[in-house]
Chains A and B, each alone.
Chain A
Amino acid sequence: MWKTIGAPVLNVSNRYGAWHYGGQKMVAINNVELISDRPLEVNLREIAEVKRAWPDRAVVVSAMVESKPETWHDIIRRIQDTGADGIELNYGCPHGMSERGMGSAVGQVPEYCEQITRWVMEVAKIPVIVKLTPNISDIAMPARAAVAAGANAVSLINTLNSIIGVDLDTLEITPNIGGKGGHGGYAGPAVKPIALNMLAALGKDSVVGGSKLPISGMGGISTWRDAAEFLLLGASTLQVCTAVMHYGFRIVEDLCDGLSNWMDEKGFTRVSDVVGRSLHRVSDFNHLDLSFRAVARIDQQKCIRCNLCYVACNDTAHQCIDLIAKDGRVVQPQSYDIQTNGKEEAVNSRPSVYVREEDCVGCRLCYNVCPVEDCIRMIEEPSGRPPVTWGQLSESQREVTEDWEKMQEYRQKMGIHIH
């Protein structure tokens, strides 16, 4: 993918901010970089050179120009003249370009998306990908516009609007650009869940999903595991930006290697076997089985007694993890004699953590905070109730979904106890 070329720009310095969390550098990056600031001629010449040097590799060129038909016609023709294999329309840049009516200013208005894509398709002889902005409430709308205009593929996500932070020494915005700063595009590992959700939303959309248009997925891909998840939710090609900015292109090797090893293990022979394979499991709340029950269980052999599950359940969940002393008594935290100390005493007198399964609501908070792999498991327990979804319930017993008293009666009848 060739960095976006097009309209003339000037960049600023201190372009990238980063969010570092818990010792992990660059959980997310934010940038106010514009499209390529090298002259258009230089970019076009180099694209042609690259294509000549690596004729067996695909070069897709990203483009963004002012919203006029002639300008778009012109750039598309010039890109085609380089021998490039495809074009991506950047409707996503959320800073700088958007203020000039380009980038996300286009991506946020489905009509503009459709119009510009039509202009492009009028002259395009090579495949055209429409790149979507996530800074929108329903990602399916601009994607439908791309489908309507005859685009060959869509890609997502571009970066999210963000302010990465404020410097507590100088009170300046991070990154500081001559005393000012502002929103920039947010990307990297932290955005992956947002990208996955939007990717799935396209797959599930009747128009976009129904069109079978290929989707190029990106947003937080750093490892082969991330890559596999994007494939499973419907992306058939993948793009990576922040992770290579962090570690260099060498990470691509493990993206491929890890993915093929995983595919071998799972018995998938080609990528197309994987693409979209988990999509049918994506569902609205309305269609989830309310009778499905899982409870937390702690493996006492693996437990290191950090008590993180205890405090999580106790302070912000359902108070159903107990501290049990050696003699079987339930004890309160800090109940040791303060005159005692030393490792033997501290370790030997430490209580164990047990879930009172009858009171566990299966919220899965403890599972998420436990630092030990496979120590807490969510065990599926028969609830003794026939499967039912909220959708079914609101059709068959509407009053239960609208009136608390009826709801209480229904719970009583079904044997649903909430503590």
Chain B
Amino acid sequence: MADIEQRTARADALGELLPPMTRNEAAVEAARCLMCYDAPCTHACPTHIDIPKFIKKIATENLRGSARTILESNLLGATCARVCPVQELCEGACVLGTEHKPIAIGRLQRHAMDFVYAKGTDLFQPGEATGKKVAIIGAGPAGLSCAGELAKRGHSVTLFEKRDLAGGLSTYGIIGLREPAEVARAEVAMVERLGVKLETGKELGTDFTLADLQANFGAVFLGVGLGATPGLGIPGEEYIIDGLEYIEQSKLDAPNLVIGRNVVVIGAGNTAIDCATIAKRLGASQVTMVYRRTEKEMTAYAHEYDFIKREGVSFCFLTQPVRVHAENGMVNSLECLRMSLGPADASGRPSPQPVAGSEFFLPADQVVKAIGQQKPSLASRLKLKTEKGFIQVNSNFETSLPGIYAGGDCIRARGAASTVRAVQDGKLAGHSIHERLVEHG
């Protein structure tokens, strides 16, 4: 059992990176916003929050109105304020970004959200009961958003979640530096107060079937996200730690998370960066990220890459792991091959080719893999049409089975997966489901 000192030290090391804005900071920043008309930041936000409107309300100290403006477009505004890659979205499109500093939209959003959550103000009430029932599978951002939108319109919503806690990756996957677990928990509670019935520990396919749902509900929404980290298929794989589990433990059981001294992280996406951050912040003396291509092909956001370099993590590009070496059950190195870039592959990026005879050994006592998530396996089991392995939906978010809708990471065949896009899917699918229920009587 870890002692109390280590417990607090670890909590501090992984605590929320950005402090909340003071009232004055928020007022000064809000006053800087030009209040653009048909603002580009609003277009860039996947949920199209009316950003100048909510910022103006902060400037006039109408924080309740500000929060309502945010939540009307994005029910999970508190999570999104923290986890959104704002540099790629709203802030990236801010007209002040070209010559000045863009408005700190994310932090202002958090200011308004923290205000209502700290006060315990509920801005929406359950709608007048329609008697219609909807089942939602998966209590991640997509499922919660869809559930909330439907409950606001008076439908009776049951939210099934296979895990013990709701929140999806906001609870289990997003590191505490960006979002502490309490924020996601508070949002789940808010959705429950809208009348959504949450059933955790209930898995579609194990505890009940789609036919059960079709018999009992007017519509079904699948927000099941993606699967586990795929295997690398190399000898010694059993010694490799799954990055998603590594992150999960750092959030929910940090004191007992084992951190190596010399950690190698395989992958160069945002999740890999999160794993490297945890290792570094929790005491590893050397953290190396291993990637088969180069800096240019990395899928991590530029701002994340900048961040991790500042954290003191090193990189081994054009490197392919081929075997984990261990002695007496203890990892001692990762054997790798040098790669070179060949012609473009299916993803449009140059394909890495091994350089013959270039084997070398990277010393390591812990190897973590973060190379993406498996496609939703549920799709084939439910006999849903797919697109590149993701569930296929039409513009109303309806799958190939009538009345069965889907959204979030499980349909993200194009573009980068993000919380805010999942929220938007859930919201729009909620609107389609509402229309269906109202029209079909």
Q: Is B422 an interface residue (CB 8 A)?
A: no
- Contact: B40 with A310, CB < 8 Å? no
A308 to B40, Cβ gap below 8 A? no
Q: Is A341 within 8 A of B44, CB to CB?
A: yes
**How far, in whole Å, are A341 and B421 apart by their CA atoms in the complex?**
9
Please report the C-alpha to C-alpha distance between residue A371 and residue B395 in the assembled complex, in whole angstroms.
39
Nearest B residue (CB) for A323 = B38
Chain B residues whose C-beta falls within 8 Å of the C-beta of A333 in the assembled complex: 37-38
- The yes or no answer to B43 lying at the interface (CB within 8 A) is yes
Q: How far is the CA of A323 from the CA of B88 in the complex (A)?
A: 25
Can you name the residue of chain B whose Cβ is closest to the Cβ of A168? B61
Q: Is B347 an interface residue (CB 8 A)?
A: no
Task: Determine whether the beta carbon of A23 is less than 8 Å from that of B32.
Answer: yes
Asked if A42 is at the interface of the complex by the 8 Å CB criterion, the answer is no
- Our pick among A310, A341, A349 for the contact of B45 (Cβ within 8 Å) is A341
Number of chain A residues close to chain B: CB under 8 A: 25
Taking the complex as formed, is A307 at the interface, i.e. its CB lies under 8 A from any CB of chain B? yes
Contact with A along B76-100 (1 / 0, CB 8 A): 0000000000011100110110110
Minimum distance in angstroms from A273 CB to a CB of chain B? 37
Question: In the assembled complex, which residues on chain B have CB atoms less than 8 Å from the CB atom of A350?
Answer: 40, 43
**Neighbour of B43 across the interface among A22, A311, A336, CB < 8 A:** A336
Check if A1 is an interface residue, CB within 8 A of chain B: no
Residue on B nearest A343 in the bound complex, by CB: B92
> Taking the nearest CB of chain B, how far is it from the CB of A344, in angstroms?
8
- How many whole Å from A266's CB to the nearest CB in chain B? 29
Contact between B37 and A346, CB atoms less than 8 A apart: no
One digit per residue, 1 when the CB lies within 8 angstroms of any chain B CB and 0 when it does not, for chain A 21-47 equals: 011000000000000000000000000
Q: How far is the CA of A339 from the CA of B394 in the complex (A)?
A: 12
Q: Do A311 and B37 have beta carbons less than 8 Å apart?
A: yes
Q: Is the CB of B93 within 8 A of A334?
A: no
Q: Does A10 contact B (CB under 8 A)?
A: no
Interface residue? A304 (CB, 8 A): yes
With CB as the reference atom, state the residue of chain A lying closest to B45: A341
A385 to B6, CA, bound (A): 85
CB closest residue in chain B, given A22? B31
A345 on the B face (CB < 8 A): yes
Given contacts A305-B40, A308-B34, A308-B37, contact A342 B88 (CB under 8 A): yes
Q: Contact: B41 with A346, CB < 8 Å?
A: yes
A340 contacts the other chain (CB 8 A): yes
**A346 and B93: CB pair below 8 A?**
yes
B35 touches A (CB below 8 Å): yes
The docked-state distance in angstroms from the alpha carbon of A341 to that of B424 is 11
Q: Is the CB–CB distance between B95 and A306 below 8 Å?
A: yes
B residues 163-197 near A (Cβ < 8 Å) are none
B59 neighbours in A (Cβ, 8 Å): 22
Q: Pick the residue among A323, A336, A343, A349 that contacts B89 (CB under 8 A).
A: A343
Bound CA span A334–B92, Å: 19
Which of A304, A311, A341, A346 lies at the interface centre, i.e. has the most chain B CB atoms within 10 A of its CB? A341
Please tell me if the beta carbons of A307 and B36 are within 8 angstroms of each other in the complex. Answer: yes
CB < 8 Å: which of A22, A346, A371 contacts B40?
Answer: A346
A304 and B421 alpha carbons, distance in the complex (Å): 27
CB distance from B49 to the nearest CB of A (A): 11
A341 touches B46 (CB 8 A): yes
Report the Cα distance A411→B45, complex, angstroms.
49
Chain A: which residue is nearest B98 at the CB level?
Answer: A304
Chain A nearest CB from B266 CB (Å) reads 28
* B27 at interface, CB cutoff 8 A: yes
Contact A306 B32, beta carbon cutoff 8 Å = no
Q: Does B48 contact A (CB under 8 A)?
A: yes
Q: How far is the CA of A333 from the CA of B36 in the complex (A)?
A: 12
| B252 at the binding interface (Cβ < 8 Å) | no
* B28 contacts A by Cβ under 8 Å: yes
CB-CB contacts below 8 Å: A295-354 with B: 304-308, 310-311, 323, 333-334, 336, 338-343, 345-347, 349-350
A304/B45 in contact, CB under 8 A:
no
Shortest beta-carbon distance, B34 to chain A, in Å? Answer: 5
Given contacts A338-B48, A342-B88, A308 and B35 within 8 Å (CB-CB): yes
Contact between B44 and A304, CB atoms less than 8 A apart: no
Shortest beta-carbon distance, A152 to chain B, in Å?
A: 46
Contact check, B43 vs A340: say whether CB atoms are below 8 A apart.
yes
B95 & A342 in contact (Cβ 8 Å cutoff): no
B residues 95-115 in Cβ contact with A at 8 Å? 95-96, 98-99
**Knowing A306-B95, A341-B89 touch, does A346 contact B43 (C-beta < 8 A)?**
yes
Q: Are A345 and B44 within 8 A (Cβ)?
A: yes
| Residue in contact with B31 in the complex, picked from A23, A334, A341, A342, CB distance below 8 Å | A23
- Measured between beta carbons, the chain A residues less than 8 angstroms from B99 are 304
B135 to chain A, nearest CB (A): 25
- How far apart are the CA atoms of A341 and B88 in the complex, in Å? 10
CA distance A346 to B96 in the complex (A): 14
Q: Which of these, A22, A310, A340, A371, contacts B37 with CB under 8 Å? A: A310
Is B44 within 8 A of A346, CB to CB? yes
With A and B bound together, what is the CA distance between A239 and B231 in angstroms?
79
In the assembled complex, the Cα of A339 lies from the Cα of B431 at a distance in Å of 14
Contacts of B421 in A (CB 8 A): 341
A308 to B415 alpha-carbon distance, docked (Å)? 32
Q: Are the C-beta atoms of B43 and A341 separated by less than 8 Å? A: yes
CB < 8 Å neighbour of A347 from B37, B48, B93, B424: B93
| Complex contacts, A22 vs chain B, CB 8 Å | 31, 59
Chain A residues in 8 Å Cβ range of B46: 341-342
Cα A349 to Cα B93 with chains together (Å): 11
Q: Distance (Å) between the CB of B145 and the closest chain A CB? A: 15
Q: Which residue of B lies closest to A338 (CB)?
A: B48
> Once bound together, how far apart are the Cα atoms of A263 and B424, in whole Å?
59
Report the Cα distance A323→B40, complex, angstroms: 14
Q: Would A334 and B38 count as touching, CB distance under 8 A?
A: yes
A67 to B170, CA, bound (A): 77
Chain A min CB distance to B208 (Å): 32
What residues on A are CB-neighbors of B27 within 8 Å? Answer: 23
Give B82 Cβ to nearest chain A Cβ, in Å.
18
Question: Which A residues are CB-close (under 8 A) to B45?
Answer: 341
CA distance A309 to B247 in the complex (A): 48
Contact of A342 among B28, B32, B37, B44 (CB under 8 A): B44
List residues of chain B with CB within 8 A of the CB of A304. 95-96, 98-99
CB contact list, A104-119 vs B, under 8 A:
none
Among A334, A346, A371, point to the contact of B34 (Cβ < 8 A). A371
Residue in contact with A306 in the complex, picked from B31, B37, B87, B88, CB distance below 8 Å: B37
Extra A-B contacts (9), CB below 8 Å, given A305-B36, A342-B89? A306-B39, A306-B95, A341-B48, A341-B89, A341-B421, A341-B424, A343-B87, A343-B93, A347-B93
22 A-B contact pairs sorted by A residue (CB < 8 Å)? A304-B95, A304-B96, A305-B40, A305-B95, A306-B37, A306-B95, A310-B37, A323-B38, A334-B38, A339-B395, A340-B43, A341-B45, A341-B48, A341-B421, A342-B92, A343-B44, A343-B88, A343-B89, A346-B41, A346-B44, A347-B40, A347-B44
The 4 closest A-B pairs by CB, nearest first: A343-B92, A23-B31, A346-B44, A333-B38
